[in-house]
Structure 1
Amino acid sequence: MSALPLHSLSAATTAAAVEPDFGPKIGQALLSRNENPYGPAPSALRAISETAKMGCYYNDRGHAKLTAMIAERNGVTPAQVVIGEGSTEVLCAAALAWGRKGSILAPALFWDTTVQYAERQGIKAVRVPLMDDMSVNLPGMAAALDDSVAMVHICNPNNPTGMLIPPAELKAFIAQVSPKATVLVDEAYNELTDRPDDNSTIDLVKAGADVIVCRTFSKIYGMAGLRVGYAIASEENAGKIRSHQMSFGGNLGGLAAAIASYNDTPFLDQSRAAVLEAREMITGAVAKAGLTALPSQTNFVFVKVPDANALRDAMAASGISIRGAYGSLNGFSRVSTGKMEDVARYAAALPELSAKLWG
């Protein structure tokens, strides 16, 4: 078991007399939402507590400070950094800004909530089916690129598959398509990959390529509910994103937590170790159940099953929450890492339920 202290568990989640308003329900193993229950970091929690009394003020200086910190770490100017209410806001803003100029080209299966948002505003999206092995079809996307496309949108590692596009392949693809369309790369899970720096495309932004990279504090930092994310882009592209943002200034608690924990290396190391340990526990259970899973570089695993919805319902009956089918794709079940004791419940239940459901 991990030596990671469960510092972030509140009284509401450890011994609640009534159903909590946030987080898992009483007795529920919440493994369906790609959350990291080991955050926020102790440094972030202290910062939230210390700054809560300042919640009557707008957050210009805190916003500027976090912007400068992100810019310094990544070797860009503050004008190249856009902070949003989670990476969702900057992704949606980019989809709107570029979608008004042309269509958005994307894989058929990825975290497309932001593209769906753009579609509801009348913007067209073109989706390219994945390869047979469930990897992103880069050649197919390059072939689908024409003058009507304004933006190419990729999530790497991909969600829900968890698969990483090898950096050399992705960078070759970007070199091919970025002269014709802006490439938006959602790197929400980058810090959980084997080689985060090598797997990132921020170096292409710095080299002048027409690329936008989005990151979030929701995953490795364990701050999903505090809503802080950001984009790194050219100054011109950053300006376009800002022009389509719906909020300004940021959430005081989220900004304070992000500033305090952005460089909190001990917490980040512990957080990553806990995620990897839980992921290994899941893959071990998958093998024990006689199932297979796609290779994951994230805090979730995409397990191949005969019926994802049937497994979801059977797990739910035992108080374990996992994802069901993605649209018509009922042959894969996504399970997220979570508290060790909750992952252990899933690991114990999977072989038993698999045998019961499918023999």
Structure 2
Amino acid sequence: MAFDISRRLVLTGAVGATVACATACTTTQTAAAEAAFPANAPSADPDPELLGPRGGVALLSRNENPYGPAPSALKMIEYAGKKGAYYPDIAGAKLAEMIAERHGVTPDMIAITTGSGEALSAIALIYGQKGPIVAPRLFWDTTALYAVNLGMAEIDRVALAPDMSTDLAAIEAKVTTDTGLVQLCNPNNPTGLVADPVALKAAVVRMSKLTTVLVDEAYMELADDPEGNTCIGLVKAGHNVIVSRTFSKIYGMAGIRVGYTISSPETAAKIQSTAMSWISGVGLAAAIGSYNDTAFLDFSKGKIVEGRKMVITTLDALDLEYLPSQTNFVYFKSGKPANDVAKAMKDRGIYIRGQYMDYTDWTRVSMGKIEDIERFCKALPEVVGA
């Protein structure tokens, strides 16, 4: 029943008394709540091992950047935490504007998702139903496999070239109008190799006339020449190309989950509509705070390159084969089963990746904190029996 204030109550002044009582009661309740939950109440101490590696573990298996998030991101994370009661409507548009401004595109060409993984999964679902996803034998296939496991796609893997690079000619030979998607990863994971930019862009343009081409550039900011290697220019030129990027790598935000794609407005809308959820305000705020933080990006890249040189120096000393990486990991051939190498390292509290597909004696080690890389470099001679 609707609450009715009668004319009689108004005339007798009973309403005023009722309102006064309600106000007093509300004030009392508010005071009680503030006493129970004071704004400056100390929070419980968090478990130091709740997130990240356990104490004593050198986590060199996930291609993370342990030097992030940047101080500029942390400042915005604190702000966003205090605003956590609200849906982050404006923040997504703000981040899209920042990304668009940097790359010379329009905001409607940007799709922002919970890590680039969500966008890549959405793309696999959208295009995998049209035909096979043509890709190199080794690439970051987790998101494509997401669609495969749902019975909505299949992957047509193309063997790598003899030097372990992506064989663009062999991939192009597979592509027809019946191909659902071409998926490339540049720099590639797990090999760490960057494709020749001239050959890559020419092949992508030709293939995009037959089907959609996705270029996963999760590690592009770590490449020697990001501007020269990126395929974003092909999107701007109107080709049927999607480029994906992430805040998980150089920005050190793998646990905060923000990524994006750059494509035509129509494709961006399709990706955004297929994404399963929306990003937290914390993630968006952190991305906005650190996106143009060049000082932090330079610092992170410097640390990653420093660690990579340490690993390469060790591999050279042991006369072990490795691929020339432009990422935050190195793929090397130990001469022993990769899973055995990973287990021996794990026994020493050092986590690295084991075997990928049938590359039995190739192992991937990620860059982490310098002291953790030192542990890896000291342990490697004993583990490989050198």
Q: Please report the TM-score for the alignment, with normalisation by the length of structure 2.
A: 0.86
1:116 corresponds in structure 2 to: 145
Q: How many residues align?
A: 340
Residue type at the aligned position of 2:56: G
Q: 5+ unaligned residues in a row in structure 1: which ranges?
A: 1-15
Q: Please name the residue that 2:302 is paired with.
A: 273
Amino acid at match of 2:255: G
Q: Structure 1, residues 181-224: CA drift from partner, whole Å, max 9, x if none? A: 11000000000000011110000100101100000000010000
Within 2, Cα distance between the matches of 1:149 and 1:134?
Answer: 24
Matched to 2:49, the amino acid is P
Matched, 1:30 2:59: yes
The sequence identity of aligned pairs, in percent, is 53
Q: How far off is 1:95 after superposition? A: 1.1
- For 2:284, the aligned partner's letter is L
CA contact (8 A) 2:119 2:275 kept: yes
Asked whether the 8 Å contact 2:73–2:285 carries over to 1, the reply is yes
Distance 2:147 2:134 in 1: 12
Moved more, 302-311 or 155-164: 302-311
The superposition leaves residues 24-45 of structure 1 with CA deviations (integer Å, 9 ceiling, x where unpaired) of 1110000000000000000101
How far 1:327 sits from its partner (Å)? 2.4
The amino acid across from 2:235 in the alignment is V
Alignment partners' CA distance in 2, 1:332 and 1:229: 29
Asked if the contact 1:289–1:354 (Cα under 8 Å) also holds between the matched residues in 2, the reply is no
Q: Point out where structure 2 has 5 or more consecutive residues left out of the alignment.
A: 1-44
Residue among 257, 261, 280 paired with 2:290: 261
Paired position in structure 2 for 1:172:
202
1:236, distance to aligned residue in structure 2 (A) = 1.3
Q: Distance in 1 between matches of 2:186 and 2:117?
A: 15
CA contact (8 A) 1:150 1:181 kept: yes
Alignment match, 1:335: 365
Letter in 1 for 2:260: Y
Q: Which amino acid aligns with 1:145?
A: V
2:133, 2:183 within 8 Å by CA — same for their partners in 1? yes
> Residue 40 in 1 paired to residue 50 in 2?
no
Partner of 1:52: 81
- Which runs of structure 2 are paired with 1:85-100 in the superposition (5 Å)? 85-100=114-129
Match of 1:246, SS?
coil
Local SS of the residue matching 1:185: strand
- TM-score, normalization: structure 1? 0.92
Q: What is the alpha-carbon root mean square deviation over aligned residues?
A: 1.3
Partner of 1:136: 166
Alpha-carbon deviations, 1:161-198, whole Å to 9, x = none?
A: 00010110100111221100110000000000000111
TM-superposed deviation, 1:17: 11
CA distance in 2, matches of 1:21, 1:220: 23
Give the stretch that moved more between structures: 152-161 or 129-138: 129-138
Confirm whether residue 210 of structure 1 aligns to residue 247 of structure 2: no
Give 3-state SS (helix, strand or coil) of 1:303's partner: strand
CA contact (8 A) 1:288 1:351 kept: no
Structure 2 CA distance for aligned equivalents of residues 90 and 156 of structure 1: 16
Give 2:111's match in structure 1, choosing from 52, 72, 82.
82
Supply the distance in 1 between the matched residues of 2:370 and 2:381 (Cα, whole angstroms).
Answer: 18
Partner of 1:9: none
Distance 1:184 1:200 in 2: 12
Contact 1:182 1:212 in 2 (8 A): yes
Residue of structure 2 equivalent to 1:317: 347
Match runs of 1:222-261 below 5 Å:
222-248=252-278, 250-261=279-290
Q: CA deviation at 1:101?
A: 2.0
Name the CA distance, whole Å, in 1 between partners of 2:378 and 2:131. 49
Give the secondary structure class of the aligned counterpart of 2:274: coil
